[in-house]
A and B are shown apart, each in its own frame.
Chain A
Amino acid sequence: MTGEFVIAIVKTIVAVSTLMTLAALLTWAERKQSAVMQDRIGANRAAILGFRAIGLFHIIADAIKMMTKEDFVPPFANRFIHSLAPFLAIFPAIVAFAAIPMGDTVTLFGHTVEMRLAPMNIGFLFIFAMASVTVYAIVLGGWSSNNRFAMLGAMRAAGQMISYELALGLAVVGSVMVYGTLDLMEIARAQTGLFAGFLPNWGIIYQPLGFLLLITASIAETKRAPFDIPEAESEIIGCFLEYSGMKFGMFFMAEFVTTVVVAGLVSTLYFGGYQVPYLMADGFHLPFGLFLVTPAALVPWLQFGAFWIKVVFFCWLLLTIRWTLPRFRYDQLMHLGWKILLPLALFNVAATGAWILAAA
């Protein structure tokens, strides 16, 4: 019992610190990647002991600066809610990650350890429940700031959430139907093996439309460009404009944490999660009968690595989209959500059902 408790704590520390490190690195990646796309160099001056580490220390500088910045609550604002909102933004984003499997079970010191934080068979529901809590953060933050621009941002966030939550939920129903479970670990396990003899048996093969819908809706959910309508800096300066220092930093971080969670969800559902192509329990079964033996103890760690590589790839994809596209208008976003994504998601559900029936 104690052993499991220790394992749970260690797992939590490892997973949350990986998540937060990755989110922090994403702030750096965003700066550097946009710099590369825009023919710039990007942040590189902050040095510790003469080492610049390609600008990585700017993250530390930003963090220290934000923590020591004056903490400001606007006059006539609701102090409690104003302070609550940033916590409400970042907490559910971190917690949502608990349902995502980072690898298969491993045996450590005689204990069987499942590589995810919370073994639960309702993974989807948990993630979506948490995702919809984050919008309260923005709505409350915007409202309690007692500022017209922030208020507009909050209204936009609420409208956007309603428009996309539905499409988001329906997009994954297809996957649920295919695999017959809400448990993300089960879904990841089911994606082992090969399809048609040479393709990895990943979810994208069964749910290509679901993937497109999910990634669109989840970018909207992360509220990043082209869906950064609540923030829309050049229009309404953003819904967090009355937040200073680390409270603003927490909203900022929440965005990146959500990006990681979305990347994790997308990889799990459609790209095999922790599955490495052609890797079975005993080694790599490559096409044309090639076989490569891998020590059985190494396999779970290869899978753990593969999961994070996939996550990093999707984070990169989301950043690229963010720096390429202009922003939607409020009503165009509604149009996309209700008139395009929602019918498509419904169609996806119906088509998947028909396909399952036909296959049976």
Chain B
Amino acid sequence: MGMIQSSIDALSGSVGLGKLDDLLGWARKYSIFQYPFITACCGMEYMSAACSHYDVDRFGAGLTRFSPRQADVLFVVGTITHKQAPYLLRVYQQICEPKWVVAFGACVIGGGPYENYAALQGIDKIIPVDLYIPGCPPRPEAVLDGLIKLQEKIQKAPHGRE
């Protein structure tokens, strides 16, 4: 319903930034090119979510781009260690605007069970995060739920006023 409502809003809104916002939001949320930064166990569930049974392509998020220049959403999937952290930061910086970051799984959100010398205790220590999908690893249903929430967030972002 939200989708229909937003489409109607997009078409009936007054001419101006509000309408442009809606239009850009609509386009961007249905055209999510992901950069999967996959390192560990969560990748298995990411795979499940991306493949035939759950099929994130239904939401327009099926295309993965391994070049950060072409990606819109950085999916950080699996434990980020201190050794890995600079690479993550670099990839984040290389992604062209507008961009969003999804923290996928407990390790990415806060270190998960690895409260030790090797693991980064949450990627939000080094890059800003837009969406957290909890779980160890999150079930594909949770991934889809997160994706829909991300789409809502993208829809509401102030696109026209960048």
Contact = CB atoms under 8 A, between A and B. Distances in A.
Chain A in direct contact with chain B (Cβ < 8 angstroms): yes
Contact of A244 (B24, B51, B69): B69
A58 B96 contact: no
Contacts of A50: 3-4, 7-8
Contacts of A69: 72, 96-98
A35 interface: yes
A241 B7 contact: no
B28 interface: yes
B57 A237 contact: no
Contacts of A4: none
A325 B7 CA distance: 39
Contacts of A240: 67
B interface, over-half SS? helix
B27 A60 contact: yes
Contacts of A63: 27
Interface string A53-96: 00001101111111011101000000000000000000000000
A46 B70 contact: no
Interface stretch (B58-66, B107-115, B120-128): B58-66
Contact of A41 (B4, B58, B60, B97): B58
Interface string A86-123: 00000000000000000000000000000000000000
Interface residues of B, number: 30
A245 B59 contact: no
A291 B99 CA distance: 63
A46 B67 contact: no
A64 B29 CA distance: 11
B55 interface: yes
Contact of A42 (B8, B58, B69): B58
B52 A70 contact: no
A242 B52 contact: no
Interface string B1-43: 0011001100100000000000110111111000000000000
Contact of A58 (B23, B28, B60): B60
B30 A58 contact: yes
B159 to A, nearest CB: 8
Given A39-B52, A43-B58, A237-B67, A65 B28 contact: yes
A43 B55 CA distance: 9
Given A42-B57, A58-B30, A68-B24, 5 more contacts: A40-B58, A41-B55, A64-B27, A70-B98, A72-B69
17 contacts: A31-B57, A35-B55, A40-B58, A43-B58, A46-B30, A47-B4, A47-B7, A49-B7, A50-B4, A61-B31, A65-B28, A65-B31, A66-B31, A68-B24, A68-B159, A72-B69, A241-B66
